[in-house]
Amino acid sequence: MRHLIDIMDLSIEELDEMIAVAKDIIADPEKYAHKCAGKKLATLFFEPSTRTRLSFEAAMYELGGNVLGFSEAQSSSAAKGESVADTIRTVGCYADIIAMRHPKEGAPIAGTRRSTVPVINAGDGGHNHPTQTLTDLLTISREKNRLDNLTIGLCGDLKFGRTVHSLINAMSRYPNNKFILISPDELRIPEYLKYETMIKKNLEFVETDDLENAMPELDILYMTRVQRERFFNEQDYLRLKDSYILTPDKLDNAKEDLSILHPLPRVNEISVAVDDDPRARYFEQVLNGKYIRMALILMLLEEAKRNPVPDWQKQ
Amino acid sequence: MIIGKIEDGIVLDHIQAGQGMRLYDILNLDKLDCEVALIQNAPSGKMGRKDILKIDKLIDLDIDAVGFVDPGITVNIIENGERVKRGKPELPERIVDIVKCKNPRCITTIEQELPQVFNLTDRKNKIYRCAYCESKAK
């Protein structure tokens, strides 16, 4: 049985396969409309989320399956003090696959310790969000028809932005990608990512605070929101939240085939006026999120069918 | 300063000066009912200054914990007043329930009976990271 906790749990071959399945779903949705008939997905959201939860639920419905779950910890047994491991094991008695979001980092690993069904990490605090990265990879693959030889600008909160960390990790596995890391000093990527991944893997990267200067080079511009919930100190949040706001004039010297991505929700870091620019691809990205989640659910259910006994029961 | 010989026990030598107390805490030596001596800043030809721990009992030593604190420590096993074994610990690939994750956002801060697991992610710099949240062990 497989789970998806971290994007690095998937090999390049598995990623390629999943992206290929997602593209096939887009081309012929009818072929997949009953693939999960009789199956149930549990969405366990210990932390509120709109798009990720709805994306998972829409994905399961489009595969012909059903959905159950909760959308905040207060309406779950976690409010009574139940452990994550017990909640997951219990829900495994009702559902065939689980997507969970939790504010604590590493919670999905605790959840898999006694799980009898595949668990998908739908975000654990500021740590990982692998299905967003799958979404990003499918979007880049559809936009550029490749995942290598790209110059990727990541802009905004690179310190707490889990989607940024996962995307760097994922794109670092494809050759000749260059990263331009655009952020205020206080929100630069964490030291461990810089030293233990980027420098260790000999990746080409530049750290800068100048978005406009970096713009002409970029194939992909990945904007992020400065997230209020990641700050212990409100003053720091207020000081940094408006660091980068993308407006149409800043795109004047951008490439014609630039793709602007954003994991959403946005606050004000991309002006609404940019939405009409054909290079703005963030709403297509949302749609891609549903398709790649469909491909992921199919892969994990298929794997669970082949290998139904979880590792902890084998020991 | 004179600390007597031990008959049956363990001497942890060549502890980096200043790390003795940390090792004492990590090994939970305060829970033992035997004599334990911590010598700090002892002169050392090789290290300048070093710490030494003497335990007057053959306890089940958590060798991973010793290796985690410093793989340069020398472990001496004493039986009948004689040293019968001497060696240095390996830097363990994984440590379990030796140190706690200090990240307030980590699941280990709230989940009951979850083992505290850290993996060695950078051997050269001896960096361990929490198996759950990937924060650095401190």
- pLDDT at residue A79 is higher than 80: no
The domain locations on chain A are: 7-129+289-314, 130-286
- Higher pLDDT, residue B42 or A48: B42
- Mutate one of A109, A121, A162, A189 to test the B interface: name it (highest B CB count within 10 A): A109
Residue whose token pair is 């998806």: A4
Q: What is the mean predicted confidence (pLDDT) over B107-136? A: 93
Tokens of A313: 């029961």
Nearest chain A residue to B123 by CA distance is: A196
Nearest CA among B52, B45, B50 for reference residue B2: B52
A80 catalytic? Reply is yes
Give the least confident one: A41-55, A69-83, A291-305: A69-83
What's the order of all strands across the beta sheet hosting A66-70? A66-70, A40-45, A97-102, A119-124
Note whether B111 contacts A109, CB cutoff 8 Å.
Answer: no
Instruction: Report the alpha-carbon angle A68-A69-A75, nearest 5.
Output: 145
Task: Using alpha carbons, list the distances in angstroms from residue A154 to A132, A168, A188, A244, B53.
Answer: 15, 9, 10, 11, 50
pLDDT at A167: 94
Interval B49-81: pLDDT, tens? 999 999 999 999 999 999 999 999 999 999 999
pLDDT category, A10, cuts 50, 70, 90?
very high
Note whether A104 contacts B129, CB cutoff 8 Å.
Answer: no
Yes or no: is domain B9-87 CATH 3.20.20.10? no
Say if residues B97 and B109 touch (Cβ distance below 8 Å). Answer: no
The segment(s) of chain B belonging to CATH 3.30.70.140 are: 9-87
Chain B contact set for A102 (CB, 8 A): 107
Note whether B107 contacts A104, CB cutoff 8 Å.
Answer: yes
Say if residues A193 and B134 touch (Cβ distance below 8 Å). Answer: no
pLDDT category, A230, cuts 50, 70, 90?
low
Note whether B103 contacts A103, CB cutoff 8 Å.
Answer: no
Give the least confident one: A43-57, A75-89, B67-81: A75-89
Chain B contact set for A124 (CB, 8 A): 107
Note whether B122 contacts A196, CB cutoff 8 Å.
Answer: yes
Interval A253-295: pLDDT, tens? 999 999 999 999 898 899 999 999 999 999 999 999 999 999 9
Q: What is the mean predicted confidence (pLDDT) over B88-103? A: 95
- pLDDT at residue B43 is higher than 80: yes
- pLDDT at residue A89 is higher than 90: yes
Tokens of A9: 């749990």
Note whether A84 contacts B107, CB cutoff 8 Å.
Answer: yes
pLDDT at A192: 79
Of the options 3.10.20.30, 3.40.50.1370, 3.30.70.260, 3.40.50.300, the CATH number for the domain spanning A130-286: 3.40.50.1370
Chain A contact set for B107 (CB, 8 A): 84, 102, 104-107, 109-110, 124
Say if residues B11 and B23 touch (Cβ distance below 8 Å). Answer: no
User: Distance (Å, rounded) from C-alpha A239 to C-alpha A243?
Assistant: 8
CB contact set of A213 (below 8 Å; sequence gap of 6+): none
Mark out chain A residues that contact chain B at CB-CB < 8 A: 83-85, 102-107, 109-110, 113, 124-127, 192, 196
A165 catalytic? Reply is no
Note whether B111 contacts A107, CB cutoff 8 Å.
Answer: yes
pLDDT at A195: 85
Q: What is the mean predicted confidence (pLDDT) over A52-66? A: 97
A90 catalytic? Reply is no
Strand partners, A258: none
- pLDDT at residue A36 is higher than 90: yes
- pLDDT at residue A125 is higher than 80: yes
User: Distance (Å, rounded) from C-alpha A219 to C-alpha A259?
Assistant: 6
Size of interface A-B (CB pairs under 8 A): 57
How much is the pTM?
0.89
Query: A2, A3, A53, A129: which one is catalytic?
Result: A129
pLDDT at A307: 92
pLDDT at A231: 67
pLDDT category, A45, cuts 50, 70, 90?
very high
- What's the fold here for domain A7-129+289-314? Rossmann fold (3.40.50)
pLDDT at A48: 84
Nearest CA among A223, A206, A315, A310 for reference residue A263: A223
Give the least confident one: A179-183, A192-196, A239-243, B73-77: A239-243
Note whether A110 contacts B111, CB cutoff 8 Å.
Answer: yes
Same fold, A7-129+289-314 and A130-286: yes
3-state secondary structure of A227: coil
Strand partners, A259: A220
Query: A23, A35, A39, A51: which one is catalytic?
Result: A51
Interval A231-240: pLDDT, tens? 678 887 787 7
Which of B105, B113, B136 shows the shortest C-beta gap to A126?
B105
Interval A126-175: pLDDT, tens? 888 999 999 999 999 999 999 999 999 999 989 888 889 889 999 999 99
Interval A100-114: pLDDT, tens? 999 999 999 999 999
Which of B105, B127, B136 shows the shortest C-beta gap to A105?
B105
pLDDT at A127: 86
